[in-house]
Chains A and B, each alone.
Chain A
């Protein structure tokens, strides 16, 4: 059983990017690569070889679902679970996002202290 070490975080907002990275690295002890757009993530994903991908839904240009579809062409989503982060939780949206291939959905605003644990349990559930 592989170990969760490397997390790819795709988020356009630099503040959230920073807080998330800090929480996951400082508290969770993970190695985090932050990407500011879907396009950048597609460039980096194979080289970085993440164990887990955290993906923002609302992004300018290529949004979360589209980025997910493009990621699916390059990596095995069964092996590398993708979890969305979204502020907008409309009825049925979580189901919709899961159907797109996401492992789970984390709702913003998130508690940075609990985030590493949340991700770990999602990752563990998929094993």
Chain B
């Protein structure tokens, strides 16, 4: 802020607030530093002439200078404020007159007096704004001392008032121009279509939005009646008829339809379908406003048209989307007073609550009434809680559906607080009865499975696809003395103390049945030992990989069956058989030996009748010995104590040897043994064990052949194997016996009462022996067609051609 100048010529300091508001008033006219204007120059010219002075000025005083809006007889356009005469004038309300400045102590030293323009006389009248501020002066100046006449003074004051009036007019004109520009801008940028008409309905202005919406240019519509250009006559007539009856006055089917309600004091929005330039229809919401001037005279109408096409489209889209959604979509408005309504509900509400959207526009009650009574309190509490915390709401509740009966629905919604304190929810509700039923069924199933697992005498363990143990049933926990632990499969064997059947060799990770199953293998009857806290537990384990319904690996499950007791009993049985057999063998050796000696008549002649009986005794004691030998063989095979010395050797001599040693037995049955085809191959066998097998098959064949028949022993090569066949011409094997042929004591179970001799263990032992030598055994038989027992042994070597084998 500048301090007032302390010069002798300076005018007295003015009060600061008053001066500030005066400056503000001056600036409001926006006239400082504007170009010269003829209107103002007329006044200075008139003032100079009427007062007979060479100089006249319209001077405006701002904070630092006086600036001349119009001047006569002076070259400079402004002078500093502190030396100006006008500064004195604007302090008063009347003409300020200085007759001779040289004689006046206030101006004697003023540079305008002492120098150019050499002022001697000054008379100025304040230019006072309507709100009482002196903006400047209209003043006349002479270089001679003089005085104005009363008439001149009066004229000067009248001129000053006219100057101020001119200021006002100028200001008003500017304001009007701005207003008009603003209105146009608003109109042009309005998002709604705006059409302006004259009072008679002729279009006078159209904004760009309206041009776009209706397809007409402003030019095409100007001067045309609004209704005949854009409205459909039938629609106008329908509306006119309605209005006529509503208002009780006849309304013409023209522009009057739009303005009649307005003139009856009704402001309304009405829907219309306007005609687009291209012939299509444009749905709009129309509002009409009267335009009146200051004198309340009607100047025209402002017609606003809101495009409903977009709205209709949105509505349609929402409907279509909602129709595809299983369940109902809704918008729920909950007011602070507790009342509520649904501004929007999709048609799906029929499916969920058995209601129609219209029933819910203003009330929540119909839905509430459908909710199962026991679920209501919880439902409301949930809504309140979500409303208070403004968190998403979720509810599952039962609904008494009029058509479907009791159903389960699931609701989700999100609350939004509105400025008025109400809450707007957006959400959806779906029928989850089926899912719920599945869930209940699943729960039941799971409970059932759980009980089943605990009731099992087997131990069940499972792991997921990552090898994390997920399940031990009670039995598994008991056997392992531990529960599932979060350890890697590599540590299972150590942690749960898993051992090989020998009970001392720890199981390798890749040998654990669950691990093998996890790698996709189907494991059955894997034997291992659990060393828990108690004695070793022998278990047989089956394990299988688990897959999801779409075939993805999901883990594995293993079921362990405790065979400790079985193993113990088996061992006892074996020990018993072994002991008994050994104990039987010694006396049998004596009996057989003694009988053999007697029958040989080495001791002397035996009477014929006695001899027959002794022969029976001898044969049966030999049969008993054979049975014991077989039992011991079986025991050795099962205990894994029979050793095999596999030696590569030609097959044919083995067959011939077997034939030779069974020849006498065959002869007893009146049967001939015959060696047929045999390729010159070599096999890896234990000669003694193979001999045992061949003897068994040959003696069986001889035993079952009718006297006079032949038993054929032959071999053929094929597919890396050699098959040795023993074919007889006996009665064959009954179909119902086929399955049990290779079982122990199968013969004893046979209903065939014919005494055939034999121990019933021969074929079972032969099967074991052949399998231990890497082969397999079988037979082909049609009842009445004889039987063919065969065994196959691996034989990678191709038979040597007959010509090559010749020396």
A residues in contact (CB < 8 Å) with B: 13, 15-16, 18-20, 22-23, 26-27, 87-88, 90-92, 108-113
Contact residues in A for B582 (Cβ distance below 8 Å):
87-88
1/0 contact string of B294-315 vs chain A (CB within 8 Å): 0000000000000000000000
Decide if A19 touches B641 in the complex (CB within 8 Å): no
- 9-residue interface stretch from B239-247, B451-459, B584-592, B753-761: B584-592
CA distance A86 to B582 in the complex (A): 11
Contact residues in A for B643 (Cβ distance below 8 Å):
91-92
The 8 closest A-B pairs by CB, nearest first: A91-B643, A15-B590, A19-B593, A109-B589, A112-B593, A26-B602, A112-B596, A87-B585
Decide if B642 touches A91 in the complex (CB within 8 Å): yes
| Chain A contact surface mostly | loop
Contact residues in B for A90 (Cβ distance below 8 Å):
641
Contact residues in A for B590 (Cβ distance below 8 Å):
13, 15-16, 18-19
CA distance A16 to B582 in the complex (A): 14
CA distance A19 to B587 in the complex (A): 11
Could you name 24 residue pairs across A and B whose Cβ atoms are closer than 8 Å? A13-B586, A15-B590, A16-B593, A19-B589, A19-B593, A19-B594, A20-B593, A22-B594, A22-B602, A23-B593, A26-B597, A27-B600, A88-B582, A91-B641, A108-B586, A108-B589, A109-B593, A109-B625, A110-B593, A111-B596, A112-B596, A112-B597, A113-B596, A113-B597
Contact residues in B for A19 (Cβ distance below 8 Å):
589-590, 593-594, 597
For residue A117, give the distance in angstroms from its CB to the closest CB of chain B.
13
Contact residues in A for B585 (Cβ distance below 8 Å):
87, 108-109
Contact residues in A for B586 (Cβ distance below 8 Å):
13, 15-16, 87, 108
| Chain B contact surface mostly | helix
1/0 contact string of B570-590 vs chain A (CB within 8 Å): 000000000000100111111
Contact residues in A for B642 (Cβ distance below 8 Å):
91
The count of chain B contact residues (Cβ–Cβ below 8 Å) is 20
Max chain A CB contacts within 10 Å: which of B588, B597, B641, B642?
A: B597
The chain B residue sitting closest to A25, CB to CB, is: B602
Contact residues in A for B600 (Cβ distance below 8 Å):
27, 113
The chain B residue sitting closest to A56, CB to CB, is: B586
The chain A residue sitting closest to B578, CB to CB, is: A88
Contact residues in A for B591 (Cβ distance below 8 Å):
15
**Other A-B pairs, 16, CB within 8 Å; known A26-B597, A113-B597:** A13-B586, A15-B591, A16-B586, A18-B594, A19-B590, A19-B594, A22-B597, A26-B602, A26-B603, A91-B641, A108-B589, A109-B589, A109-B592, A109-B593, A111-B596, A113-B600
The chain A residue sitting closest to B629, CB to CB, is: A109
For residue B77, give the distance in angstroms from its CB to the closest CB of chain A.
139
The chain A residue sitting closest to B602, CB to CB, is: A26
CA distance A13 to B587 in the complex (A): 9
Contact residues in B for A26 (Cβ distance below 8 Å):
597, 602-603
Max chain A CB contacts within 10 Å: which of B582, B585, B593?
A: B593
Contact residues in A for B587 (Cβ distance below 8 Å):
15
Contact residues in B for A110 (Cβ distance below 8 Å):
589, 593
CA distance A89 to B582 in the complex (A): 11
Contact residues in A for B596 (Cβ distance below 8 Å):
111-113
CA distance A91 to B592 in the complex (A): 26
The chain A residue sitting closest to B599, CB to CB, is: A113
1/0 contact string of B38-76 vs chain A (CB within 8 Å): 000000000000000000000000000000000000000
Identify which of residues 641-680 in chain B touch chain A, using a CB-to-CB cut-off of 8 Å.
641-643
